[in-house]
Amino acid sequence: MARAYHAEGQTVYGFDIREETMKAALEEKVLDGVLNETTVQECDLLMLAVYPRAAAEYLLHIAPYLQPDCIAIDLCGTKRWICKAGFSIARQYGLTFFGCHPMAGTQYSGYENSRANLFTGAPMVVVPQDDRHPEKIERLRELLEPVHFATLTVTTAEKHDQIIAFTSQLAHVVSNAYVKSPNAQLHKGFSAGSYKDLTRVAWLNEEMWTELFMENRDNLFDEVENIIHALMEYRDALMVGDRDRLKELLREGRLDKERVDKSSENEDET
């Protein structure tokens, strides 16, 4: 985010507990200065790009120093817990807070792997405290323009966490479990795009994902149960050598994928 705003000529203040990160960001002039109780008073937008619990703790600390027209957002991967905490703090201090989730990323973390165009063309999910104030959402849209998101999807924290359990969290669980096969250590010379696609997100930050999984464990549990049930159907067909059943299962999956892709194309056209 800092790189994106810096590339658009915006003044950017930031803070990270890692001294080497701050040193690099300041030396490269990605940051114009350190974010603190004084510089935050110049900010139109405050982005909390840390774990959910830390985001709430920092917002509570910094809230008294924010200007009334400053909008605060989080960038966490789950929304119910942080939105409950963020909305409560916002009411306490008369602030505007949005739960936000930029839908893009890589398997690599750290400042050294950041880039200004990571979110270009990506969706941004937005959870407002009160959707009866569209002017605030429009103000947020304007403030996010330097990042070049393709769309802003406005939803509830509950809906976000339900869908994200499938689109993101389950994918990380499956990828992480997939590479535990003994053959993963023997695949060199035998793998191509399908292996790379399925294993990319197995390379994850276990501390962050554990926190996110546990905060959304009810929804993620349901998705894990669903895929276990589906896998057992494939397993049973293979166990008894039921060619017709296996073919039907594969056909069902292909048709489901076609419907999903067709629905996505229609949404893009509208």
For residue 222, count other CB atoms closer than 10 A to its CB.
Answer: 13
Domain edges within the chain: 2-155, 161-269
Any idea how long the chain is?
A: 270
pLDDT of residue 196: 87
Token digits of residue 263: 């629905």
Through-space distance between the first and last CA atoms of the chain, rounded to whole angstroms = 28
Tens digits of pLDDT across the chain (270 residues): 999 999 999 999 999 999 999 999 999 999 999 999 999 999 999 999 999 999 999 999 999 999 999 999 999 999 999 999 999 999 999 999 999 999 988 777 888 999 999 999 999 999 999 877 899 999 999 999 999 999 999 999 999 999 999 999 999 999 999 999 988 888 787 878 888 888 888 988 899 899 999 999 999 999 999 999 999 999 999 999 999 999 999 999 999 999 999 877 766 544
Give the whole-angstrom CA distance, residue 49 versus residue 141: 18
- Neighbouring-strand partners of residue 125: 101, 153
> CA-based angle 140:141:147, to the nearest 5?
105
* CB-based contact 32:11 (threshold 8 Å): yes
pLDDT of residue 180: 93
- Neighbouring-strand partners of residue 154: 126
Whether 2-155 and 161-269 share one fold: the answer is no
Alpha helices in the chain (DSSP H): 2-7, 19-27, 52-62, 80-93, 134-143, 157-164, 170-178, 193-199, 206-215, 217-240, 243-269
Give the domain 161-269 fold. Answer: 6-phosphogluconate dehydrogenase C-terminal fold (1.10.3660)
* CB-based contact 176:148 (threshold 8 Å): no
pLDDT of residue 268: 57
Give the domain 2-155 fold. Answer: Rossmann fold (3.40.50)
